[in-house]
Amino acid sequence: MLHQAVQFNQQHTDFYFDASFWQLKEMLQPASTFIITDANIYSLHAGYFKGWKTIIIPAGEAHKSLDTAQYIIDQLIQLKADRTATLVGVGGGVVTDITGFVAAIYMRGIAFGFVPTTLLAMVDASIGGKNGIDIGLYKNLMGTIRQPSFLLYDTHFLKTLPEAEWQNGFAEIIKHACIKNATMFRQLEGTSPGILKKNKQQLNELVQKNVQLKMSVVKADEFEKGERKLLNLGHTLGHAIENEYGFSHGQAVAIGIHYAAILSQQILGFKNPERISVLLTQYGLPTHFVFNTHKVMNMLQMDKKRQQNEVHYILLEKIGKGVILPIPLKDLEKLYKII
Ligand code: ADP
Ligand code: ZN
């Protein structure tokens, strides 16, 4: 196990890489700890939860809702959780987001930590302190930014991860490589999902590298004034098409990254859109998709990243170097139409 402590503006976070779930027992008191997980993870890994007070929520994004938050709060009241309680979210992005959200509001805020169980949650969703719930179609419309007190990474959980979930994680990993790390981009070109799934050491290293990359971006800009926006590569368009066309998050982001690469070619003279679409395909992700521009523009009107009539779009100068460019919505509509 590798321990790394990181100081954020208001919170200190302990990261435990290459760790085991059993180590939670050394870190927390079962009497004041409340684990939140979803029904799938609970049934696949039931042994882990013995001896812990566990609140089980239904699996899936549809349950990242106020109703589920209310259910968790009701359970906490019944279990007599007080201000000294620690919530531990054991699961994918849905579980970690809602755990962070409930921890932020229960009794005006209690401690929380995460054990992410999907590749996506490991390398992305669990890091950075953003939490929240969806309101109807609008993702993460309600939430706060608050850092967890610890993150424990046990890649053993990934043994049961469905194929589509691997793709979601790889999309964010490729995103990280595109905006910040050309060396990692080349390493990804030189390996494959099949090899990574079998090679625990390679996988642990990749997880750790991605956590550290995201963490350093977040730490430099905890409240998303500048640099952190780079992490939105592929997400402006991605979020707009995800629900509308029923893509998984990873698929939508992959298409978003591909479009961003082509916009980068047109606006900044970026030379490698081809290399990006080849890598996305290598990791089982889609790249091309023809969408209804009018519908997508309507969704962008609601995007949190929109400022007045401009979108802060993330483009690539080269592989490993993302940049932020404000694009007026009017121009974006025209650009989408000609691609
Ligand atoms: P994500 O991390 O993709 O945002 P979710 O919390 O929605 O998302 O998890 C995606 C799905 O994967 C859910 O159905 C969840 O129950 C399931 N899941 C999470 N972790 C595992 C795991 N280790 N093995 C099998 N299924 C898992
Ligand atoms: Zn994402």
Q: What percent of the chain has pLDDT over 90?
A: 84
112 and 218 assigned to the same domain = no
Q: How far apart are CA 231 and CA 124, in angstroms?
A: 9
CA nearest ligand 1 atom 10, residue: 92
Q: pLDDT tens digits for 145-173?
A: 999 999 999 999 999 999 999 999 999 99
Q: Does residue 305 surpass a pLDDT of 80?
A: no
Domain count, the chain: 2
The answer on 180 and 71 residing in a single domain is no
pLDDT in tens, 186-225: 999 999 999 999 999 999 999 999 999 999 999 888 777 7
pLDDT of 40 strictly over 90: yes
Question: Nearest to residue 339, comparing CAs of 306, 296, 280?
Answer: 296
Same domain, 203 and 253: yes
Q: Find out whether 170 and 254 touch, Cβ atoms under 8 Å.
A: no
| Domain region containing 76 | 2-160
**Lateral strand order in the sheet of 306-307:** 306-307, 310-318, 321-328
**What mean pLDDT do residues 63-70 have?**
98
Q: Write out the two tokens for 297.
A: 């523009």
C-alpha distances in angstroms, 151 versus 20, 28, 85, 121, 215? 12, 13, 17, 11, 12
**CA-to-CA distance for 88 and 101, rounded, in angstroms?**
12
pLDDT higher at 8 or 178: 178
CA 15 to ligand 2 center in whole angstroms: 21
Residues 44 and 108 placed together within one structural domain of the fold: yes
Shared domain for 156 and 173, answered yes or no, is: no
CATH of the domain at 15: 3.40.50.1970
What pLDDT, in 10s, does the model give residues 315-335? 999 999 999 999 999 999 988
Residue written as token pair 């009701």: 74
Ligand nearest to the backbone CA of 172: 2
Question: What is the predicted pLDDT for the residue at 243?
Answer: 79
Centroid of ligand 2 to alpha carbon of 116 (angstroms): 15
- Out of 49, 64, 94, mutate this one to test ligand 1's pocket (max ligand atoms within 8 Å of CB): namely 94
79 shares a domain with 63: yes
Q: What is the pTM of this model?
A: 0.93
Question: What CATH number is associated with residue 211?
Answer: 1.20.1090.10
Supply the angle between the helices 200-220 and 163-180 in degrees, to the nearest 10: 50
**Are 137 and 260 found together in one domain?**
no
- The pLDDT-based confidence of 139 (bands split at 50, 70, 90) is confident
